[in-house]
Amino acid sequence: MFKSMIRTLTIATVLGAGTLAAHAENPMVGGAAMYEDKNIVENAVNSKDHTTLVAAVKAAGLVETLSGAGPFTVFAPTNEAFAALPAGTVDTLLKPESKDALTKVLTCHVVAADVMSEALAKMIADDGGTHAVTTVGGCVLQAKAEGGKVTLTDETGGVATVTIADVKQSNGVIHVIDKVLLPKA
């Protein structure tokens, strides 16, 4: 009977923790609330840290796609991440004649699945410390977990760190990153 009570108590504790986690509020991003019942684009436009990303998504014609059913996981670089690119890069990418190149860069930040950080960490662990993540743009990112943080290495060797994880959306999840991921040339 004692073992049965402990088992029941353990199950209740685990279920209770899951319930608390399920009702936890989404993290704020760029000073704005992120709502689980809004899609990726509807939430991103409210983040003051993602104005460059939103402008790029609009210039690439990806608003409709990222507003669609999904599910999508978006690794969302901040304005600071875009500003760290070589001078003139963002201006060049936003030009109409650079739409294909811009689309390639942006789609290297999108995965056609809803991947929460816990699931990604498990994939990394199951794969011995590095998990290959294929994006909708065909880029292969190398995900690692180091010091409690998830990092993504792009095809040029650039490394982005997830700074805010698990921002739930109606059509997927956003993970904020501190570097723009680039496809190989």
pLDDT of residue 27: 85
Is residue 23 within a helix (H) or strand (E), and if so which, with residue range? Answer: helix 2-23
SS3 letters across 28-90 = CECCECCCCCCCHHHHHCCCCCCHHHHHHHHHHCCHHHHHCCCCEEEEEECHHHHHCCCCCHH
CA angle 66–102–183, rounded 5-degree value? 100
Residues 6+ apart with CB under 8 A from 117: 150, 162, 165, 166, 175
Confidence of residue 148 (pLDDT cuts 50, 70, 90): confident
Domain 27-177, CATH among 2.30.180.10, 3.30.70.330, 1.25.40.10, 2.60.40.10: 2.30.180.10
End-to-end CA distance of the chain: 65
Per-residue pLDDT of 82-133, as tens digits, reads 999 999 999 999 999 999 999 999 999 999 999 999 999 999 999 999 999 9
pLDDT of residue 25: 80
Phi first, then psi: give them for residue 19, nearest 5 degrees: -65, -45
What is the C-alpha to C-alpha distance for residues 27 and 112, in angstroms, rounded to an integer? 22
Q: Taking 70 as the threshold, does the pLDDT of residue 6 lie above it?
A: no
Instruction: Choose the most confident range, by mean pLDDT, from 28-32, 146-150, 179-183.
Output: 179-183
pLDDT of residue 22: 41
What is the C-alpha to C-alpha distance for residues 42 and 175, in angstroms, rounded to an integer? 15
SS3 letters across 85-121 = CCCCHHHHHCCHHHHHHHHHHHHCCEECCCCCHHHHH
Q: Taking 60 as the threshold, does the pLDDT of residue 1 lie above it?
A: no
What is the C-alpha to C-alpha distance for residues 2 and 13, in angstroms, rounded to an integer? 16
Per-residue pLDDT of 17-53, as tens digits, reads 333 334 358 888 988 889 899 999 999 999 999 999 9
CA distances from 60 to 41, 67, 95 (A): 13, 14, 10
Q: Left if phi > 0, otherwise alpha if psi is -120 to 50, otherwise beta: which for 90?
A: alpha
pLDDT of residue 26: 85
Domains in the chain: boundaries:
27-177
pLDDT of residue 146: 84
Per-residue pLDDT of 57-67, as tens digits, reads 999 999 999 99
